[in-house]
Amino acid sequence: MEIKKIAVIGLGTLGAQIAVQAAAYGYPVRGYDRDPEIFRKTVEKVKGMMAALRKGPTVPREEWEKAVEKVTVAESLAEAVKGVDLVIEAVPEVLELKRKVFAEIDASAPREALIATNSSSIPVSRIEDATRRPEKCFNIHFYQPAVNFILCDIMGGTKTRPEFFDPVRKFIRSLDLIPLTVRKEILGFCFNSIWRAVKKQALYMWGNGFVDLKDIDRAWMSFTGMPQGPFAMMDMVGLDVVYDIEMSYYNDSKDPKDMPPAALREKIDRKELGIKTGKGFYTYPGPEWAKPNFLKGED
Ligand code: NAD
């Protein structure tokens, strides 16, 4: 099996970036979102993110811009998935919604097509039985390729056929991304579960007033040499998306330690969602973490 044509369902922050990444590497891509305007709006937000982070995609910027024009936004999900080899679902992190969308994809996509969820926390084993092809279902978890986060977690469900892993890995490598294969199901997959441990502790320390979030970011940046700390990264992901992901872990464990802090919910209620609304943990453009003396502890 070879992946030659793809469809992306949900063209928000991640779906739009996945669609453009695939188009930039020569794949015919069709996308569908229930909001027909969102693809263009998201592309503009992603450009803002590239500027704020001073990071670009894996291809030269002009090629990325040309790839935006190559993505076809379909009028229906059925039209988007017609004749493709792989469908990637990138709708919000809500299990029942993902199951509904997987069932719709299954009803319209070619029988041979693989179906993947870009979920950040839900194993595909909880979605696969919404389809009649569990042997072709995957988690393919992209990070944000437009701002050069080039990792990609890959995990199968309970019935995923082993021979489909190679074409998926080949597809991911062909996008200049690094495939990270999970051998045994785990919440959060490969690197995303490491990032989740850092994020959970950072939120706990900030949400309970132990330290100023800027000191956590400084420490992380200094220790790892990364250009942003966990709070700046969460601004990039979107605080609403972070909240849904944390709730998904909480709903799984019912452990109060997994509950995201109330202060995060309050930020979301005030529409402080991160870079996409101009304010999250920092304000944009010109966030404090990007200032020259930030690491020296000068706020
Ligand atoms: P988002 O809210 O930016 O985009 C979701 C899109 O799905 C919206 O445009 C919405 O209109 C659309 N949608 C909702 N219901 C739909 C339906 N029934 N049919 C078609 N479209 C529908 O969210 P996002 O940040 O792109 O996250 C999407 C998925 O990717 C989530 O599972 C999230 O956990 C995962 N993810 C996000 C990030 C990140 O950094 N934001 C990183 C990796 C993975």
Which atom of ligand 1 is least distant from the CA of 120? 34
- Tell me, in angstroms, the distance from the centre of ligand 1 to residue 223's CA: 31
Ligand 1 neighbourhood includes 145 CB (under 6 angstroms): no
Asked if residue 141 is part of any domain, the answer here is yes
**Same domain, yes or no, for 175 and 197?**
no
Strand-pair category, 178-181 with 151-156: parallel
**Same domain, yes or no, for 76 and 130?**
yes
CA distances from 169 to 35, 78, 127, 254 (A): 31, 26, 21, 34
Ligand 1 neighbourhood includes 73 CB (under 6 angstroms): no
With 90 as the cut, is the pLDDT of residue 191 above it?
yes
- Tell me, in angstroms, the distance from the centre of ligand 1 to residue 219's CA: 30
- Tell me, in angstroms, the distance from the centre of ligand 1 to residue 186's CA: 21
- Tell me, in angstroms, the distance from the centre of ligand 1 to residue 119's CA: 8
Read off the pLDDT band of 285 (50, 70, 90): confident
Nearest to 114 by CA among 123, 74, 20, 124: 124
Q: What is the C-alpha to C-alpha distance for residues 19 and 74, in angstroms, rounded to an integer?
A: 13
Asked if residue 29 is part of any domain, the answer here is yes
Which atom of ligand 1 is least distant from the CA of 91? 7
CA distances from 146 to 167, 251, 275 (A): 23, 31, 14
pLDDT digits (tens, 9 = 90+) for 162-173: 999 999 999 999
**Same domain, yes or no, for 50 and 148?**
yes
**Same domain, yes or no, for 176 and 242?**
no
Find all residues with CB under 8 Å of 55, minimum gap 6, and list them: 147, 148, 227
**Same domain, yes or no, for 287 and 156?**
no
What pLDDT was estimated at residue 119?
96
Q: At which of 182, 209, 234 does a domain end?
A: 182
**Same domain, yes or no, for 29 and 142?**
yes
Q: What is the C-alpha to C-alpha distance for residues 176 and 76, in angstroms, rounded to an integer?
A: 29
Q: At which of 155, 182, 209 does a domain end?
A: 182
Task: Specify the number of domains making up the chain.
Answer: 2
Average pLDDT of the segment spanning 240-265: 94
Ligand 1 neighbourhood includes 84 CB (under 6 angstroms): no
What pLDDT was estimated at residue 297?
87
**Same domain, yes or no, for 15 and 160?**
yes
pLDDT digits (tens, 9 = 90+) for 62-111: 999 999 999 999 999 999 999 999 999 999 999 999 999 999 999 999 99
Asked if residue 187 is part of any domain, the answer here is no
Report the share of the chain in percent with pLDDT over 90: 90
CATH number at residue 253: 1.10.1040.10
Ligand 1 neighbourhood includes 118 CB (under 6 angstroms): yes
Ligand 1 pocket check: which of 11, 17, 34 to mutate, most ligand atoms within 8 Å of Cβ?
34
The parent domain of residue 77 ranges over 6-182
Asked if residue 131 is part of any domain, the answer here is yes
Q: 161 or 297: which carries more pLDDT confidence?
A: 161
Average pLDDT of the segment spanning 123-133: 98
Q: What is the C-alpha to C-alpha distance for residues 44 and 181, in angstroms, rounded to an integer?
A: 32
With 70 as the cut, is the pLDDT of residue 299 above it?
no
pLDDT digits (tens, 9 = 90+) for 17-55: 999 999 999 999 999 999 999 999 999 999 988 987 788
**Same domain, yes or no, for 178 and 211?**
no
Q: At which of 157, 182, 207 does a domain end?
A: 182
Ligand 1 neighbourhood includes 92 CB (under 6 angstroms): yes
Ligand 1 neighbourhood includes 182 CB (under 6 angstroms): no
Ligand 1 pocket check: which of 8, 9, 13, 147 to mutate, most ligand atoms within 8 Å of Cβ?
13
**Same domain, yes or no, for 134 and 248?**
no
Q: What is the C-alpha to C-alpha distance for residues 200 and 261, in angstroms, rounded to an integer?
A: 10
